[in-house]
Structure 1
């Protein structure tokens, strides 16, 4: 007989050498614990798995009379996985009887700093999917999308999923978009007669009148601007607003931009300028459309009256499909500026930022500004960030250290201008790798940045599978002995032990720094850097340079070369390069 209350049967078998997860006792299940539903029991075990730092999955069930009599939930690493001879994946259960569940695990739990990578801690809701879809439509890649989410949430741990989840979601969205034909419709605005001004119309304030005319201009598809005024006693008696294409624009022989008004009587406080600026196209054609506001005061009531209104233009209006490019229809508020700033920090360019805004709002017409406005805003933000970019890096390092205690960083500032000259960092995983595989370390400084001219130098090595691993990395302001000595000193202090062998290129300053800081470490030169220069060092007088290069590489990479070996001597004599300085130097330092 089946009852409504489901009993979770958990059998504990303690095995020697097994690992029991550590978690809060309130979250740990026990034999005989009851749940009102199956989903409640599975949810409880999933929360226990998240706390204990392992993933779990459903593993079969037994069904009778339309009810699940047994439901098995196992560790995600249960069973084995192999591939048969035909290349078909086969999952093999470790135990035939899945009902004999154990609390012990035969593997290490997920590191506490990597809990966010667990499948049970990763989920994307509809809002996340919509955001990724908007980014995908805006041609923003998954990496930049994930970095932008990090900027929004403040930390990678708070995002709730990983970069691979974003990539998978973006892949599915791209597949879906291939089958969808996106149709865009233009929004057509028709100027209403109620928005059209007329002579004698009253306004309670000057700003109200100007706002009314600007709305009329937007509806009629032309831009307007203020064009001088007359004041008396601290009050604007006359205010002139004209079409943006009023007057003419010319350049004098000295290259000075000059704006010329078509009518002299309207230029009391005209915008005539004589400031030297860059040359650019002009749309001014002497249009006479305008409106004049005049101040009146009657029995203590103050108001502005439309004194003159000229509605005729001598040019075509802006096409309704291009209304969004009009100056009167473009404006960026604080929210827009903050969004562009977040995109700039996430290394998303202005074009992709504008496309993303279009996806958010649904149409370019609704965004409220143009791509050039975003570019100008991004330019200003980058200029502002130049003064605080180092502090942003240090803040990010500090935030990473707060999240992961095993993370370490150290930096050095110049005493003169307090600028960053050196920076080194590593995480707990890198330090563990170094103590396991750090006998041989490669230090390569062939990477550099274009903006700051700082040299990037990673400390790398290889594990027992010959896979590259990172031990740490640093930035230095120059490839000199003092800067590299500081970097090597900090590296040894952090790792507590110097490497046995370090492999570098032929930089002389690096050799001096290693001799100074790492006297007990064997210094060896990287053969890849040397052999990559071989072909360009071969004299052009040699006819068959390809053959010489091939024979030289065969000799260098052989195990027969020693001080009294005649193989190399025979090659250089054969091709007549025995007196070539570069080949002599390389042969002299062949033991490094």
Structure 2
């Protein structure tokens, strides 16, 4: 007697695992829509099919017969249960023990259907490993070597791990946009003072901005100077990652927020800066960026009370590519210009005077890029 149908399945699966065979559900009988009889049979149950079936009627458009090493042999082993209306449970009334095929040896029973099925914790391990850029094959080896001590102690083979990872990717499919947005909205609902803005087009995320409570506190205290750089790109979706950063009293970097952009246009930068301003409600005094012309116009349009300055690191990085000839490889010139531009203790008029003398010394008075800088 069994109170639930799941107990019947669990019992026969355990019996099959100990004996060395696999099971599957067989025929179901119904009466007025309600199930009255269940059959659980050996996985080798069924009439064997001829390998030459329907070859005379096959044509070029027909589906090919799937090749498999598994063959049924009309095995009669099974159990039969029926539903008892009086006890409201399942009664096992027939048991066929004999099989028409050899059992799986003990040393190979880790390859049976039940032992190859992945449990919840193994599936979670595969998924978490994929988030850390660890593939299913490596995840299987980690389970074998670090946790279980051998293949026979691990539920599932490397193929089962790969198949599950593939099913997860197929399930996500084009729903990754929805998953990201739902995750961010969950942060807004459960975290204090969390801001999330996004823009979509044709089901794709075009722009995103987010800032948590710590980022907002950092900006209120250290947000006099704002720097952001749009030179980072993700490797899968080709989105531009834009972190907003500043410096605290200990000269360490602090984060004020972050964004993702689909493209580097004036409209995209304007949207991102408006989202930043809406989250923090305060314009910075100076804004430091690279020399992107679209970014220059967006900053002037949104941060109308801020001073826009170019990042010295980006400028000096371009020095060797902008100055051609022997001067670019002159170590004395590079040392002199670095000593001048990184000197924070001289006044502007002193800098202008020394800058003019430096360009005159190396014959660069008419260099367009240096004059512009």
Q: TM-score range by the shorter chain?
A: 0.5 to 0.7
User: CA separation in 2, counterparts of 1:381 and 1:291?
Assistant: 31
Match of 1:210 in 2: 44
Q: Which runs of 5+ in 2 are unaligned?
A: 1-18, 22-38, 62-67, 77-95
Q: Distance in 2 between matches of 1:427 and 1:578?
A: 49
Partner of 1:527: 312
1:531 shift after superposition: 1.0
Secondary structure of the residue that 1:506 maps to in structure 2?
coil
Per the alignment, residue 411 of structure 1 pairs with: 198
8 Å CA contact retained: 1:459, 1:472: yes
Structure whose alpha-carbon radius of gyration is higher: 1
8 Å CA contact 2:20–2:109 kept in 1: the answer is no
Measure, in 2, the Cα distance between the counterparts of 1:491 and 1:560: 33
How far residue 294 of structure 1 moved from its aligned partner, in angstroms, is: 9.5
Question: Residue in 1 aligned with 2:168?
Answer: 381
Does residue 1:398 correspond to 2:185, yes or no?
yes
Partners of 1:424 and 1:552 in 2: how far apart?
A: 38
Distance in 2 between residues matched to 1:351 and 1:266, nearest whole Å: 34
Question: Per-residue deviation at 1:524?
Answer: 0.6
Give, in whole Å, the separation in 1 of the partners of 2:266 and 2:350: 31
Does residue 366 of the first structure (1) align with residue 118 of the second (2)? no
Q: 2: distance between equivalents of 1:486 and 1:209?
A: 60
Matched residue SS, 1:542: helix
Confirm whether residue 268 of structure 1 aligns to residue 77 of structure 2: no
Over residues 94-134 of structure 1, what are the superposed CA-to-partner deviations in whole Å (9 max), with x where a residue is unaligned?
xxxxxxxxxxxxxxxxxxxxxxxxxxxxxxxxxxxxxxxxx
C-alpha deviation, 1:438, in angstroms: 1.0
Q: Does 1:515 align with 2:300?
A: yes
Unpaired segments ≥5 residues, structure 1: 1-193, 197-204, 212-235, 241-264, 276-283, 296-302, 312-319, 587-592
Task: Check conservation: 2:219, 2:280, Cα contact below 8 A.
Answer: yes
Q: In the alignment, is residue 340 of structure 1 matched against residue 126 of structure 2?
A: yes
Q: Which secondary structure does the structure 2 equivalent of 1:210 belong to?
A: coil
Q: Please, what TM-score do these two structures have when normalized by structure 1? A: 0.44
State whether residues 44 and 72 of structure 2, in contact with CA within 8 Å, keep that contact through their aligned partners in structure 1.
Answer: no
Q: Deviation digits for residues 294-333 of structure 1, max 9, x if unmatched?
A: 99xxxxxxx9x999x9x9xxxxxxxx98x58969797344
| Match runs of 1:187-198 below 5 Å | none
1:538 aligned onto 2:347: no
CA pair 549-386 structure 1, distance change in 2 beyond 3 A: farther
SS in 2 for 1:486: helix
The whole-number CA distance in structure 1 between the counterparts of 2:110 and 2:20 is 21
Secondary structure (helix, strand or coil) at the match of 2:304 reads coil
Local SS of the residue matching 2:259? strand
* Residues 1:463 and 2:248 aligned together: yes
Matching residue of 1:239: 48
Rounded Cα–Cα distance in structure 2 between residues aligned with 1:408 and 1:327: 51
How does 1:78-227 map onto structure 2 within 5 Å? Answer: 208=42, 210=44
Shift of 1:502: 0.8
- Structure ranking higher on relative contact order (CA contacts 8 Å, 6+ apart): 2
1:257-336 to structure 2, matched below 5 A, reads: 266-268=51-53, 293=74, 331-333=116-118, 335=120, 336=122
Counterpart residue number, 1:217 = none
Shift of 1:422: 1.5
Q: For residue 354 of structure 1, what is the aligned residue in structure 2?
A: 140
Aligned-pair distance for 1:555? 2.4
Tell me the C-alpha RMSD between the 2 structures. Answer: 4.1
Change (3 A) 1:460 1:290: closer
Q: TM-score, normalised by structure 2?
A: 0.67
Do the aligned partners of residues 356 and 209 (structure 1) sit closer, same or farther apart at CA in structure 2, a change above 3 Å counting?
closer
CA contact (8 A) 1:329 1:369 kept: no
User: Relative to structure 1, is the Cα distance of residues 347 and 290 closer, same or farther in structure 2, using a 3 angstrom cutoff?
Assistant: closer
Indicate if the aligned counterparts of 2:110 and 2:153 stay in contact, CA closer than 8 A.
no
Give distance in 2, aligned partners of 1:392 and 1:328.
Answer: 33
Distance 1:452 1:376 in 2: 24
CA distance in 2, matches of 1:410, 1:210: 57
Counterparts of 1:60-71 in structure 2, within 5 Å, are: none
